Chains A and B, each alone.
Chain A
Amino acid sequence: MKKDYLLLLVVALAAFALPMILPGDYYVEVFLFMGINILVALGLSLLMGYAGQISLGHAGFYGMGAYISGALSAHLGWPVPLAALMALVATALVAGLIGWPTLRLKGHYLAMATLGLGIILYILFVQLRSITGGASGLAGIQPVHIGGFYLDTPRRYCYLVWALVILSFLFSINLVRSRTGLALRALHYSEVAASTLGIDVAKYKLQVFVFSCVLAALGGILYAHYITFISPETFGFMYSIKLVVMIVLGGMYSLWGALLGGAFLSLLPEFLHRLEDFEVMVNGLILLMILIFLPGGLVGLLQKIGEKIRGHS
């Protein structure tokens, strides 16, 4: 566990240094969006790796954060922190409402329920024209500022995003070590055994699910207030799939999988510009190949390599 904190320190230093080293705003912006992806992926990683549940609607929660906070600031002129808080609370409530009935049941009902919710939210983003601007998008979202200091350059905003990424990782590492984390690990081995020990399986799963959705919403809020213009496509089903690919690629059973997978998949489009139409299929193929040939993901691969090196020396 000490290793986790050490790693986090390394990541924090890298996140502090990179925006200064990277040449030009374009690369800083790529790094910024990478941070947002990792933030959303981290929540999903907790849900998939520790609660053993899948969400196929995280793009919807990401969108909820973006649209609620964005609409409140664009239409009603709410200050950003207040709008953001409102978005987080609303997302937590909706997540609770979906999670409560589905997580009480054994099996994988949550996956289908979140798939449905994702679709419904997408429909709402398109249909509620007076609030969301419909298919043509919502403009006029206020940028973030502290007093008179505006975080409107990629470099400044990058620090805000990555500060939140680091904080979320810190919180998640602690969560995994806490009573909740231990309970989740217990029910990972045997749900029945865990519940006979008096562990309220459903409650812990629900807590992780809600937290994971709140992280997704936070990602959406950060996205909305940076871009200041949002439209529904960003929050469609494909993004939910991409998040699942990030987790599986990085490694499902470690929080660091979210970091590696998120980083990898954020950079991939930079290299595969010409792919466009193939991108959908490539995502699916990555997912299948990793599951079949590298079930531990990149983290698992690194661990194996590490063990080999130690074994030889």
Chain B
Amino acid sequence: MAQLVQYIFAGLTMGVIYALTGVGFNLIYNATGVINFAQGEFVMLGAMFLYTFQEVLHWPPFISLPLVFLMGGLVGVVFEYGVVKPLIRLGVITVIIGTIGASVVLKGGAMLVWGKNALAVEPLISEKPVAFLGASLNTQVLVVLMVTAIAVAIFWYFFGFTILGKAIQACSVNPLAARLAGVPVERMITLSFCFSGALSALAGGLIAPITLAEYDMGTMLALKGFCAAIIGGLGNNPGAMVGGLLLGVMEGLSAGYLSSGYKDALAFLVLILVLFWRPEGLITRGKGERV
């Protein structure tokens, strides 16, 4: 029982990271119809930023974590202006290839700046592990869950109850109609990139103390974040949250009871099965995109 709780919490911790990354995918997909292959690199940069602020500059966590969030937003905006805007008129496939190029540049750049070795980051709070149902939980796990819960609550309020949030949603449903209603579509798209970058960077900052920060951590996280988004139905944010947690727990259990060597294969298997069986996602009621 204690062991089961331990595995589930380990899974949930990774799950929220996948969930945040999945929401990052969705924000850009909804705004532009592009699957952003550099999403994992946003997460990696978040981890690297936290390492820099905390281990190199020795700033306290309540300053460095919000800064990571802001820097992530900046990365998102620069990414839109540098890569997506110049290419979008050439068609979606060109933009997607562009995001692949950008991801390679970011990965290569990070390798030059931060080196090839995995970097250790101190936990945000250094308290003793907490006992829960017989399992001992690392406090970092609780921090991850709490910060994510706060971020989700803010986003839920933002998209559900503010004009700006509703305007962004309107743009993703029908850009033309939104423009006719007076919504500055371009600015909303930029905002989507900003939020996408910020959330992904936050995810990176949160797991850095658990998994170490490494220049090539992005690809795997992108794949799993995408898997989370697919489970929830691409474009559906609450779906991606549930999808991420589901994937995380499945992964935690399979790593604990089956084999940790093949743990990473699970996300891919789930991805293929969902695309095969219910491409519209397990959670949505919406229509699939079959032609």
Contact = CB atoms under 8 A, between A and B. Distances in A.
Interface of A: 48, 52, 54, 56, 98, 100-102, 104-109, 111-113, 115-117, 119-120, 123, 127, 191-192, 195, 201, 237, 241, 244-245, 248, 277-285, 287-288, 291-292, 295
Contact of A119 (B103, B223, B279): B223
Interface of B: 35, 37, 83, 86-87, 90, 92-94, 96-98, 100-109, 111-112, 219-220, 222-223, 226-227, 230, 234, 261-262, 264-265, 267-268, 271-272, 275-276, 279, 288-291
A48 B267 CA distance: 25
A63 to B, nearest CB: 15
B105 A284 contact: yes
Contacts of A245: 101
A123 B226 CA distance: 19
A201 to B, nearest CB: 7
B220 A119 contact: yes
Contacts of A278: 108, 112
Contacts of B291: 106, 191-192, 195, 201
Contacts of B105: 281, 284-285, 288
- Tell me if B's interface is mostly helix, strand, loop or mixed: helix
Contact of B96 (A108, A201, A284): A108
Contacts of B271: 112-113, 116
B87 A292 contact: yes
Report, nearest first, the 5 A-B pairs whose CB atoms are least far apart: A281-B108, A284-B104, A287-B101, A280-B108, A116-B268
The secondary-structure label for the interface of chain A is helix
Contact of A284 (B108, B227, B261): B108
B98 A291 contact: yes
B272 A98 contact: yes
A277 B112 contact: yes
A245 B261 CA distance: 31
A102 B102 CA distance: 24
A48 B96 CA distance: 12
Contacts of A192: 291
Given A119-B219, A120-B265, A106 B108 contact: no
B211 to A, nearest CB: 16
Contact of B112 (A241, A281, A283, A291): A281
Most buried by B among A52, A105, A106: A105
B246 to A, nearest CB: 17
A281 B104 contact: yes
Given A278-B108, A288-B102, A115 B87 contact: no
B97 A108 contact: no
Contact of A287 (B104, B111, B226, B289): B104
